Amino acid sequence: MAGSERIGLIAGNGRFPFLVLDAACAAGYEVIVVAIKEEAFPEIESHSATAVHWLSLGELSNLIDTFKREGVKRAIMAGQVKHKQIFSSIRPDWRLAKLLLSLGTRNTDSLLGAVAKVLADEGITLENSTSFLEPLLAKPGVLTKRAPSEQEKKNIAYGRIVARNLAEYDIGQTVVIAETACVAVEAMEGTDATIERAGQIMTSLESGPSTLSRALTVVKIAKPNQDMRFDVPVIGVRTIEAMQKASASCLAVDAGKCLLLDGDAIITAADAAKISIVAD
């Protein structure tokens, strides 16, 4: 890692871009941020970036020109850009419009993979989004005080099968399971909204006693051949809060491929809520 080398950061929403920015600066890099107007938090202006440029999602040519002007040859993409934005009223420039029209499918992998190729063709290499955050990747094993129960282990095993099959089609990375039955599958709405929907399904049932447990297990996986440059699975304290509201008791993630955005605070929150977290 070089002293005053410049690196670009394409910032979406959430805390992920802030973590990358702070870690890159701590490693001695000058960070040039391109903040996505429709997604990034305004607070990114007050962090330690060398420069912050605000661009709309549709401005792919402007993004490339900005990085070239700033002398950026390596970049990181961090933070969520909601997949549903492709249906928004944002007008793509000619380069992005051409790219969108060329795609056979418009899922996350194909769209971001195509953007990465365009950047590479222009001399800008997209690095793994976790390059500076390896310590925050989930370690294998039970991460909380409480280990999964036998029923939760069955839910996890079934949920992994369902999630891996769905992930092949880039539909979503999260499923919510109860008693080895799939309650909810993530699509464009995101993990927290999927968990919330699963909770709503359970609370919509008659309140009388049930033969089967209604406790929910959340399984969040990486895609087969996960591209660590973008769309890396992340969980945070907000995930635990969403699980609490939905009466979900267990969370399973992929070791080494899921980022714990809030570090130990996630484990503390999960222990307080008696939620088990396991990474395999």
Task: Look at residue 234 in the predicted model and tell me its pLDDT.
Answer: 93
pLDDT in tens, 5-48: 999 999 998 899 999 999 999 999 999 999 999 899 999 999 88
Task: Look at residue 88 in the predicted model and tell me its pLDDT.
Answer: 65
CB-CB contact of 251 with 277 (8 Å):
yes
Separation of CA 150 from chain center = 28
Q: Which of 106, 105, 108, 126 is nearest to 116 (CA)?
A: 126
Task: Look at residue 238 in the predicted model and tell me its pLDDT.
Answer: 95
Task: Look at residue 169 in the predicted model and tell me its pLDDT.
Answer: 84
Q: Which residues of 28-52 are buried (b: 16+ CB within 10 A; e: fewer)?
A: ebbbbbbbbeebbeeebeeeebeeb
Rounded to whole angstroms, the Cα distance separating 29 from 38 reads 26
Give me the residues of the chain with pLDDT under 70, please.
1-3, 83-89, 107-108
Task: Look at residue 210 in the predicted model and tell me its pLDDT.
Answer: 76
